[in-house]
Structure 1
């Protein structure tokens, strides 16, 4: 017996969550963080999604991972594959200029992978009366996945735009997408589908 209810891409009020699309991009040469091939191409789809959300009156929350220069807030983050990265004051830590950030945008700085951990996100989402969170950015297998899991456990409908996220490797990216789809059937969607859904939500 199945109690599963078919879901729309957008259920109720949507919010676009832009995760860690920062000036450093996919990096050049040696990098403190591994990036899969095609990472930057995926990030390059974000500005169109941001612009359409603005046009359709859909709230956007931008996240910026940043760490203090004395490394006090890294915790166990440096025990894995990543080296020191995204320090406060470094040009590559700033949110990517291509996103067209505005002075009145919602911007939240985070110290850890999940956008919910130690941030004001839950308060903001309650104020926005959000029901569906649409996730773009990186890494699919780290910050995007952990944010999706926390959103799921807070009972939000979650969608991940699979051609506007990218991971530390192709294998890790694909595995994270499967894991998110396991939690919410229909979670995976394309940027084209989201652009169309934004239009429909605004009409």
Structure 2
């Protein structure tokens, strides 16, 4: 099928799990990350700032698990070790990296997908969202699963290639290919998205 426009209707930016663990020296976050991971997370700030400047709502997500591990489910059956435990410094959102503000929308999640067990659906309805633009990590886990759930809920889904990072280069690339398979033209670069945000604001004026 032909690719849809980058932004359809009302866009919302989802900032997925940009947490302190990726930026702390000698911190074992329990999750492997590709070499360029922190660079991609820092690059995401440009898209966040552009969204704010162009009146695109921004929603921040924080994966967090209870210290007694009751809500990990099957997350430790694969490669990942214990991660994102409440009360640990690395679990907090990297506020200085993403420019988090006190009045921002922040959703804590217990699972990979931003839709599972959260009020994201309610918030998106309130924002009258049509297109979900995603930055953050991991490309092959939380971003991919959120994208797939959004796709099945009939949202237009976009992922910013240079602002997401995976557990490895191969996993990152495979996830991007899988998302592009679901929606042609879904994988875009930050420059395209920033320009689209600006055009969206101008069209709404």
Give the TM interval when normalised to the shorter protein.
over 0.9
Which aligned pairs between 1:37-116 and structure 2 lie closer than 5 A?
37-97=35-95, 98-116=97-115
- Which of 12, 17, 21 is residue 15 of structure 1 equivalent to? 12
Structure 1 SS opposite 2:124? helix
Q: Which residue of 2 aligns with 1:134?
A: 133
Distance 1:167 1:104 in 2: 29
* TM-score when normalising by structure 2: 0.94
Contact 1:64 1:93 in 2 (8 A): yes
Shift of 1:25: 1.4
**Secondary structure of the structure 2 residue equivalent to 1:64:** strand
Contact 1:26–1:35 (CA under 8 A) maintained in structure 2: no
User: Structure 1 length as normaliser, TM-score?
Assistant: 0.95
Residue 34 (1) aligns with residue 32 (2) = yes
Encode CA deviations 1:44-74: one digit per residue, 9 max, x unaligned: 1111111111111100010000010011100
Separation in 2, partners of 1:6, 1:151: 17
Change in Cα spacing, 1:69 to 1:155, as seen in structure 2 (3 Å) is same
- Show structure 2 runs of 5+ residues with no match: none
Take 2:89 and 2:108, find their aligned partners in 1: how far apart are those partners? Answer: 15
2:117: which partner in 1? 118
Moved more, 40-49 or 152-161: 40-49
Question: Which secondary structure does the structure 2 equivalent of 1:45 belong to?
Answer: helix
8 Å CA contact 2:14–2:134 kept in 1: the answer is: yes
1:78 is paired with a residue whose SS is coil
Q: Please identify, of 27-36 and 140-149, the stretch whose mean Cα deviation from structure 2 is larger.
A: 27-36
